A and B are shown apart, each in its own frame.
Chain A
Amino acid sequence: MEELLSKLKKDLETKLESAKKEADILNIKSEYVGKKSEISSILASLKDMSIEYKKKYGSLINNTKKEMENMINEKLENLGNDVEITFDDTLDYDIKTGSLHPVTIIAHEITDILKRMGFTVVSGPEMESEYYNFEALNVPKDHPARDMQDTYFLDNGMLLRTQTSDNQIHAMENFGAPLRICAPGRVFRNEDLDANHENTFYQIEGMVIDEGITIENLLYVMQNLLKEVFKKKVKVRLRPGFFPFTEPSYEMDMSCLICGGKGCPTCKNSGWIEMVGSGMVHPNVLKAGGIDPEKYTGFAFGFGLTRLAMMRYKINDIRVLNSGDIRYLKEFNIE
């Protein structure tokens, strides 16, 4: 009996393998597990057998029939999966993508890092008053930066801001101390255009004010910001600098990414590229923002987003950025 049952199963398996159409399978179904099938007649004949026989073979025959039914049902279910493919599944398509401006991408990345350090992102006006652009930032009346050569003055008595540092004063006025802000934005300098010079470019400003802020805090934020941006591939160095709105002031250099610090035309053979201007906020600036310099200290920093974007994407002509030429800009997929 065991042999007979296993033969039946084997036969069914072979039959099913070659069956492709639903009708064929249904035929096989009635042939093997239908009312007139062999196994059905074996089952029917069981009632005339001895109790011992029933005990011995009853469940085996029943289980075999179930197994056979399952095999057929499974084959039926899977039938739809084997449809004949009537189309070319190897075609390739050109996808349309928009693009974000490289400066937007970099600004987003930088603000993201700063947000992780608890900075709030703020923004300020591009047409600015002399007070916010110069006076409140401790830039005296006869400072060279105030010259017509560098600054776009307007016929309504205002100017186009020359730096994002105006945000320092706005932020202090709006939020008071303690404070932790960054401000990406567009700035303007009266310059002739060439591959390295633009009159319109982007910077980002940062400012932290609290009780007991130290030079060491400034160092930490600067170093880690640059490390995050350049994925630790860069060395940084801090050296004395001069800005009217900070005291002490520091320039932060980054090892040149083009030559790896060996010296090349990009870094003027020094191996270093000036990246960030920074320093401890000048007491006069704190006062201008209505903050008591005897109680609070702080640091501020600023750097060129446009330049960063150029370095990151190896853009060798700055004029591309404001050209609006889609042939160049479309490369910058959304990040």
Chain B
Amino acid sequence: MLISCNKLKSHIKNSEDIDWLNIWDTFTLRTAEVENVEVKGNSFDNVVVAEIKECIPHPDSDHMHVLKVDCGEKELIEVVCGAPNVRVGLKTAYVKVGGHIDGSEIKARPLRGILSNGMCCSGRELGISDNHDGILDLPSDWVNGTDIKEYLPIEDIIVEIDNKSLTNRPDLWGHYGIAREICAITNHELLPLDILEITNDLEDLDIVIKDENLCYRYTGLKIENIKNNNTPLDMQIFLYYVGMRSISLLVDLTNYLMMELGQPMHAFDARVVKNIEVGLANEGDTYTTLDGITRTLTSDMLMIKNENKYFGIAGVMGGLDSEILPDTTSVFLESACFNAASIRRCAAKLGLRTEASARYEKSLDPNMTDLAIKRLAYLLKEQNPDMLIASNLTDIYPKVLKEEQIILDKKTLSTYMGKTLEDKEVNNILETLGFKVKVDKYYYDITVPTFRATKDIKIKEDIIEEIARIYGLENFTPKPLKLDLTITEHETIYNQEYDAKKLLATKFDMHEVHSYIWYDTDMLKTLNIQKDNVKLLGKETNNILRDDLSLSLMNIVNVNFKNYSHFKIFEIGTIIKDNQNKRVLSIILTDTEKNLEAIYNEAKKVVKYLFKVLKNKEVTFTNNVNEYNYYNDTLGKIINVDNNKIGTLNVLNKSYTNKLSKKKAIVTIDIDFDKYINIEKEEKLSKEISKYPEVELDYTIILDNKKYADLEEVLKSFPSKLIKNYRLIEVYENKYLIRYTLGSNNKTLEQKELQTFQERFIAHIKANNLKIEE
């Protein structure tokens, strides 16, 4: 929102004491964020009031004129001008030779052969309006040669305040509220507004509110005999500086009041208003708004109706048939207050967010509507001394919003502030902000003004915020929390996730990735996989939440296949399964097809290593019956810890891998991290080391059409007290090298014992129909 400092000054007593350029840093710290401060009126100089004394068409141009102007000097000066509105007697703005416009110097120069000594200016050229239809038309009583800045409020400071930081402050959506805030910050006095009191000895207007919960108040007034509909230049400049377009006095005044008080208003041509009714629209009706667009209405949109026909969308925008026309002399003024949520929904549905709706959706103070009308009438009368009030100030206000009391005990205030403030200070802060305060020994009895009560101030903590911010946050001393050695509750999820991630990245050179919680629709299409899971509402693509983290990572696999032939990635992320959040660790290893065996074995090692190092647990792999058909049934394994399933290891079926990239292999690991978290780390106990030497014996066993798992069954079923452990050392074709470590804790093994072991072992292997190299 744009704020004019000239306007603020007009509301503050002794405003010249305030440093208007530098107050805004403080304003940011006390009230709301200031985004920009711009000094206006610096871009030109030597622009004076000048009167056209002679005006003849340029002999060599079809639209230019050669003027002689009186700019307060002895001689008339000859100027060439292309504007259509030149005429003898017109007073306008003239830049002298040597003066500047928009930073560049104006020189005497020939225009189509005739020397132009300076330049007559339009509003746009001076940067005080967007009007470039002609040169400025100044009042006839202004003195020729006077610097235009002496007549017009061209020099100003325009401040841009971040709208977002005003969301919670309906009272700050107009200059008057900002002025009040400045008063509180600088300890100044806010001046009351000049208004026109309405005597109410005429007829009431016919106004009906159908829904009191959506329209809190509707105030109307009819005024006739408005002959002058020209907006004074100073008001035009103000409106232009704060981002509004000047249209006509009546329209400009409604905008002026919106900028001044924050109260949106509407001026209808009184000739067409018979009776006003505020009520809901019929579903599916259409209505054409002021901007010429026909819009479809829904049954929750609040409408202004006249003679049972739509007349405007309440709080959003008026319609074409009620517009102020050039010949309008009587006006019906609307100043109303609507339900904020209803206006917000309506504007959002229509995609039509206007200055009015933006204010209404902040929850405006309903007690402001009559003040705004009286203020507008006052300003209108300044331009139209003969205007006639043609109706009572008709005020439909079913449920009057009253001021509320809040008790703030001093103890709570001190607790929050960390210090105790003097009553005088608290009192002063609150009163300049518009609160009324009764000071008691133990508490403050505070009356909240209604302009703060609609949304912002409800409880004592809200009052504390007011005191703390005006007191100044920079005046607080940061204090550490008191020493407290109570042991806190401990949740290890975060640490365990980090430890696992770090292990994978450091030990196995893997890259951590983050992906989305939903499946990529294109990826599912590419793979021709249908998924049915919880869905996002109102979205057509990327709307199915993932129930398989590894599958959802195929998108990322695809991205990286463009640059790498093999890589390893992982993510710890959330999937949604059976309507529940589940944390999963997925690891993906990829390589060319011929290296499937290598990455498959590496995947197993990664899992073994992870559980050995982080949980001190041994994992086992058992055959899997696959839940999803895109994984290979034979190669898929269940990962078990303590005989419980903790995850799966899978290979993406070739037909799917091929859709991503040809001749590639993709191995996936999914660990149920919720279960993982709950596995207690097996305690490591010190092991006694035998004093006697151990002996290693190697056996090469030949497996025909059998796997290591079969061999292991055989090895497990061989009992011997001498066995410390056995390991698979190497596999070459179908030859499996097994190394036994034998030993005893009480003695050195004798040759005879080893001999017996050897014979028994070989016999055992043979008995199980396996071959062994002797």
A residues near B, CB below 8 A? 96-101, 103-104, 108, 111, 117-123, 125-127, 142, 144, 147-149, 152-156, 158, 160, 174-175, 178, 180, 184, 186, 188, 200, 208, 210, 212-217, 219-221, 223-224, 237-242, 247-251, 268-270, 280, 282-283, 297, 321-327, 329-330, 334
Contact = CB atoms under 8 A, between A and B. Distances in A.
Nearest to A143: B341
Interface stretch (B99-107, B188-196, B535-543): B535-543
Interface stretch (B261-269, B272-280, B458-466, B699-707): B458-466
B479 A99 contact: no
Given A200-B516, A215-B416, A326-B569, A240 B476 contact: no
B341 A98 contact: no
Contact of B559 (A158, A208, A237, A325): A325
B480 interface: yes
B478 A239 contact: no
B459 A123 contact: no
A308 to B, nearest CB: 15
B511 A215 contact: no
Contact of B511 (A103, A119, A248, A329): A329
Q: 4 tightest CB-CB pairs across the interface, nearest first?
A: A324-B556, A248-B465, A214-B418, A142-B341
Contact of B514 (A156, A214, A282, A322): A322
Nearest to A120: B488
Given A123-B491, A215-B417, A220-B481, A326 B465 contact: no
Given A153-B536, A268-B35, A322-B515, A178 B486 contact: yes
27 contacts: A98-B510, A98-B511, A103-B514, A118-B484, A123-B493, A123-B494, A142-B341, A154-B535, A154-B536, A154-B545, A156-B534, A160-B536, A178-B484, A208-B481, A214-B415, A214-B479, A216-B478, A219-B479, A237-B29, A239-B30, A240-B30, A240-B32, A251-B165, A283-B461, A297-B415, A324-B513, A324-B559
A219 to B, nearest CB: 4
Interface bracket on B: 35 or more
B91 interface: no
A126 B574 contact: yes
Interface stretch (B298-306, B366-374, B498-506): B498-506
B223 interface: no
A186 B573 CA distance: 9
B111 to A, nearest CB: 39
A258 to B, nearest CB: 17
Interface of B: 28-33, 35-36, 165, 167-168, 340-341, 344-345, 348, 415-419, 459, 461-462, 464-465, 468-469, 473-474, 476-481, 484, 486, 488-491, 493-495, 498, 501-502, 504-506, 508-517, 534-539, 545, 553, 555-556, 559-560, 563-564, 567-569, 574, 576, 579, 581
B465 A247 contact: yes
- Tell me if B's interface is mostly helix, strand, loop or mixed: mixed
A177 to B, nearest CB: 11
Contacts of B537: 148, 152-155
Contact of B576 (A103, A122, A127, A268): A127
B32 A223 contact: no
Given A104-B512, A126-B581, A152-B536, A239 B33 contact: yes
B517 A100 contact: no
A255 B494 CA distance: 30
Given A214-B416, A216-B418, 8 more contacts: A103-B514, A108-B498, A123-B493, A144-B344, A186-B517, A214-B415, A217-B418, A237-B474
A224 B481 CA distance: 12
Contacts of A184: 494
B478 A212 contact: no
Contacts of B501: 100, 104
A109 B212 CA distance: 55
A98 B508 contact: yes
Contacts of B579: 156
A126 B518 CA distance: 12
Contacts of A238: 29, 473-474
A148 B415 CA distance: 39
B476 A215 contact: yes
Contact of B459 (A144, A147, A283): A283
Contact of B31 (A240, A250, A321, A334): A240
B491 A220 contact: no
A287 to B, nearest CB: 11
A57 to B, nearest CB: 53
Nearest to A123: B493
B514 A324 contact: yes
A188 B517 CA distance: 9
A221 B517 contact: no
Contacts of B545: 127, 154
A329 B494 CA distance: 21
Contacts of A269: 36
Contacts of B476: 215-216, 219
Contact of B560 (A127, A214, A270, A324): A324
Contacts of A322: 514-516
Contacts of B32: 240
A322 B512 CA distance: 11
A91 B478 CA distance: 56
Contacts of B556: 323-325
A218 to B, nearest CB: 9
B489 A239 contact: no
A334 B555 CA distance: 24
Given A98-B508, A239-B473, A280-B416, A118 B488 contact: yes
Contacts of A99: 505, 511-512
A330 B560 CA distance: 12
B479 A217 contact: yes
